[in-house]
A = this chain, B = another copy of it.
Amino acid sequence: MSAANRYDVTEWPVGDPFDDVGEVMMSILADIKRRQSATDENDGGKPGAVIYIPPGDFRLRTQVVIDASFLRIEGSGHGFTSSSIRFNVPEDEWPDLHELWPGGSRILVDIPPERRAQRSDGAAFLVERQGSPRISSVEFSNFCIDGLHFTADGSDRHPENTYANGKTGIHVAGANDSFRVNGMGFVYLEHALTIHNADALSIHDNFVAECGSCIELRGWGQASKITDNLIGAGPSGYSIYAENHGGLLVTANNVFPRGASSVYFSGVTRSSITANRLHSFYPGMVVLDADSSENLVASNHLLRDHEPWTPFLGVDNGLDDGYGLVRISGNGNSVIGNHISEVVDSRSLRSAGTPPTIIRLVAGTGNYVATNHVVASDVSASSSGSAFEAQVDALLSTAVSNSLDVLTVVADPESTGNTILDSGTEAQIVADRRANAVRATPTIGAPSA
């Protein structure tokens, strides 16, 4: 039996994988379940299967609903290319382009709206199972899920720049264990990857970009990791979002713009955001919200600068510069050893009259903020019609001669009992010294302690 547990979507007799790979996969899944229906005896019985997607364009018109453990769907290429840049090239130049679309083992998500309505989430892949045990060890590996187009959202923006289309790449609806998402590419989806109630989930080494929101851990969960990914969401979406999770490890990710936030925790406890590189165009890069407590934010590099690309000028997440690049509402969190660069045009700041805020403690008690280094520069914003060159130019320009006044740490009256060490000068730290312990970063000429 086991020798037949490897399927290739292009070799399956039912359906046309180029026209509707979803139909093909549903037929394969039915075959797996039919063949592996034996009562579990003699230590075995339902080992699962692997479904292989070779490089190629595979349209998906039928949602793939997964309710079997030990299923691996794997391809041979994450296939990312920037659809965003292409859609902002005049169409009369398209015939000169080498290629127009993402590639690799590519799923073209094209579920008709009327079918999507049956599944409110519009996901290409929906994982859902009732009963016990929780579904385990479903793996998505090394293929590309492409939402094809964004659609008009009522704003002035070109439809392809809205990050909206009602499409989701992978949606896991219920409790799950030991899932793996590795080496995948996601592009032009409103939601790339949404997973509810995860235990020991691994999201590793993926490319998730040009999606409205990228990674969303919903419901609740524990002991998972989001590691070593390249991630970038849309201006009103999440790059990494988690709610009600404990023991989540977010490390070694390179999170680039846009993204309303780089990492957003809601009610998350005893989790880590460490050794990431985070880049955003707006305030609210890292938010610990809704009583997120006892988390560690350490050894990260945070850069906030300005949107350099013409098609998105004027677009942002709507937040005031007093909101905080790092914003914390909760207890006992640690913010240690981060580097934070704020590179903005002071004329475009939203915080009328007050300096922008870097780390803001909004509510809670007992947070510990130590040895963070903030570098703030006032630059003249420039923009360009070329996304890549503009971004690199902006990244490489260091204008330290025009330093910018910022508040490095602000503790609101509702946040007390915090400890703030070596994270800004006396003047840069706004905190009631009777309610918080503060040791300002030494300045030149001050006595060495």
Contact = CB atoms under 8 A, between A and B. Distances in A.
A251 interface: yes
Interface stretch (A321-329, A335-343, A344-352): A335-343
A438 B448 contact: yes
A137 B44 contact: no
A421 to B, nearest CB: 6
Contact of A5 (B56, B132, B185): B56
Contacts of A150: none
Interface residues of A, number: 163
Interface in A56-80: 56-59, 69-70, 72, 74, 76-80
20 contacts: A40-B94, A44-B57, A47-B79, A48-B77, A70-B99, A70-B104, A81-B178, A137-B185, A182-B183, A202-B228, A225-B252, A247-B303, A269-B396, A269-B398, A270-B341, A272-B275, A294-B303, A331-B375, A419-B441, A438-B442
Contacts of A207: 178, 200, 202
A332 B339 CA distance: 9
Number of copies: 3
Interface string A229-245: 01000000000000010
Interface stretch (A151-159, A163-171, A387-395): A387-395
B230 A228 contact: no
Interface stretch (A111-119, A309-317, A362-370): A362-370
Contacts of A435: 444
Contact of A45 (B76, B77, B101): B101
A126 B70 CA distance: 26
B69 A136 contact: no
Contacts of A272: 275, 277, 300-301, 339
A436 B443 CA distance: 8
A14 interface: no
A444 B228 CA distance: 39
A50 to B, nearest CB: 4
Contact of A54 (B3, B267, B271, B388): B3
Given A441-B419, A444-B436, A336 B70 contact: no
Given A2-B10, A135-B98, A247-B303, A444 B439 contact: no
Nearest to A100: B40
Given A70-B104, A298-B299, A339-B334, A6 B76 contact: yes
A437 B446 contact: yes
Interface string A89-115: 100011111111111111010100000
A261 to B, nearest CB: 17
